[in-house]
Amino acid sequence: MNFTVAQIAKMIDHSILRPEFTVRDVREGCAIAVKYDVASVCVRPCDVPVAVEEVRGSGVRVGTVIGFPHGTSPTAVKVAETALAVEQGAAEIDMVINVGWLRSGDVAAVEQEIKEIVVAAGDAHVKVILETAYLTDEQKLAACRAAERAGAAFVKTSTGFAPTGATVDDLALMRSAVSPKVQVKASGGIRTLDALLAMTSLGVARFGSSATAEILEDASRRHLTRSGGSASLIA
């Protein structure tokens, strides 16, 4: 499949999630997101108001993370986090499941928590982070199916803070586990255009990355090289 640079940009959630980032770092990250007109900027919950201010008037949505990065907050806390984030202007919610519950076999509890967060999110899209590094294939499949039953918009591989991130095998498995109405997001270790393009062939629709500028500058260079400056496509 072929994509323009603009189409690739709209597949990216620019991540600004490291714990040491200052408010200035957050503002600079939002400026990158606006410059490249990505799908969204994904920020820490405390940074949602700043991000909303920084991207106002652009085509970039604000997303945030819930129960991040371990997923172990009580459900009521995750629900409250979600409601506050939406009230402050977040349009996308990336929640971490309770990995321990899933590994214990309590899929029903995982599903119920996702459902409560989906309700609290309202019109905001909920992306369910599985943290695949800690799961068997059977657990990944169960989590994906629970997320779909609970009304999530996306299933997502990783937080980026676990030992491993997105893999081709996991993405193919996740895509097979859900219907076309649920999208798949890859996150964790996606730092090159080639990696992103390879994952689109598996049906991945969204990518979390902090290497947004590098990826899109590479895409622009390839367009210019192939087209002499005209609106060419990248395979």
Total domains, the chain: 1
Query: How many other C-beta atoms lie within 10 A of the C-beta of residue 72?
Result: 13
Residues 17-42 pLDDT 10s: 999 999 999 999 999 999 999 999 99
Whether residue 233 lies inside any domain: the answer is: no
Residues 69-124 pLDDT 10s: 999 999 999 999 999 999 999 999 999 999 999 999 999 999 999 999 999 999 99
Q: Which of 78, 156, 170, 218 is catalytic?
A: 156
Whether residue 152 lies inside any domain: the answer is: yes
Is 140 a residue of the active site? no
Q: Which of 10, 78, 127, 185 is catalytic?
A: 185
Whether residue 44 lies inside any domain: the answer is: yes
Nearest to 150 by CA among 75, 61, 200: 75
Q: Which of 94, 140, 170, 218 is catalytic?
A: 94
Q: What is the pTM of this model?
A: 0.94
Whether residue 134 lies inside any domain: the answer is: yes
Query: Does residue 228 or residue 58 have the better pLDDT?
Result: 58
CATH number (domain holding residue 170): 3.20.20.70
Q: With cut-offs at 50, 70 and 90, classify the pLDDT of residue 2.
A: confident
Chain centroid to CA 105: 25
Is 127 a residue of the active site? no
Whether residue 98 lies inside any domain: the answer is: yes
Is 185 a residue of the active site? yes
Residues 113-166 pLDDT 10s: 999 999 999 999 999 999 999 999 999 999 999 999 999 999 999 999 999 999
The DSSP annotation for 156-203 comes to: E---S-SS----HHHHHHHHHHS-TTSEEEEESS--SHHHHHHHHTTT
Q: Which domain holds residue 17?
A: 5-227
